[in-house]
Structure 1
Amino acid sequence: MSLLPDPAATLEVTCAEVSGWSTLPESERPWLVDCREPEEWGICRIEGADLVPLGSFPEKIDALRQGASNGVVVYCHHGMRSLRATSFLRANGVESVFSMAGGIDAWSRTIDSEVPRY
């Protein structure tokens, strides 16, 4: 049974949902992908996420498909790039992919205030 919602119903998941999954074994969690740029990654990041800048998605589509066995959650700064990333991945055969609503800024405000805001 998937932790993620029905992809036909929504493009987004909440920060609270993503935070709740962080306690699960890695083999059961959705893959958390940060689609921001390396400079932004250097400012702050969510522990356990992998950096895959949005501009590199076309060349990394095979790796992104392979890493999607438990689904994918993509985040950015405020949620706009991650929505584009989600749409791109769905259009390229990755069905169970979602954007984290509000991005890392919402994460900092609602989940972990130790994550710097910028």
Structure 2
Amino acid sequence: MFTRVPPTQLHDWLARFPDQPLPLVIDVREPWEVQTASIQPAGFELLYLPMGQIPSQLAALDPDRPTACLCHHGVRSLHVAAFLVNQGFEEVANIDGGIDAWSRERDPSVPLY
């Protein structure tokens, strides 16, 4: 099972893993979306990996590493989070509302699109 985390509570979710590798946030949006709006990593590593590439890149991801997923509104990342859990990842979160909610709730300098 994965956790649903609003952008404003991501820091609290990340803090649950002080003795583990730096958590990973996978931005599963398409390259044009990342060019339009992106976030700055703070307390996590950020990886841009479009949703369609997740299955082929799965072996490069660490199932023991806390991993959160981000997209535009939270739907694609929800599917990726569920996929990761089904592949044996234990600590997975979906960033609810995606980068749109990130901009509205956490960092208004991130452009809306």
Instruction: Give the TM-score of the pair, scaled to structure 1.
Output: 0.79
1:75-115 CA-partner distances (Å, limit 9, x unpaired): 10000000000111111111211110000000000000000
> Does the CA-based 8 Å contact 1:11-1:83 persist in structure 2?
no
Aligned length: 106
Unaligned runs of 5+ in 1: 1-6
Deviations 1:20-65 (A, max 9, x none): 549x98x75421110000110001111122101100011011112x
Q: 2:58 aligns with which of 46, 56, 61?
A: 61
Which one of the candidate residues 31, 42, 55 is aligned to 1:38? 31
CA distance in 2, matches of 1:28, 1:16: 22
Q: 1:84 is matched by which residue type in structure 2?
A: H
* SS, match of residue 57 in structure 1: helix
Which residue pairs with 2:112 in the alignment? 117
CA distance in 2, matches of 1:110, 1:72: 21
| 1:38 partner amino acid | P
Percent identity (aligned): 36
The DSSP-based 3-state class of the residue aligned with 2:29 is: coil
- 1:6-21 to 2 correspondence within 5 Å? 7=1, 11-19=3-11, 21=14
TM-score by length of 2: 0.82
Counterpart among 65, 85, 93 of residue 98 in structure 1: 93
Which sections of structure 2, spanning at least 5 residues, go unmatched? none
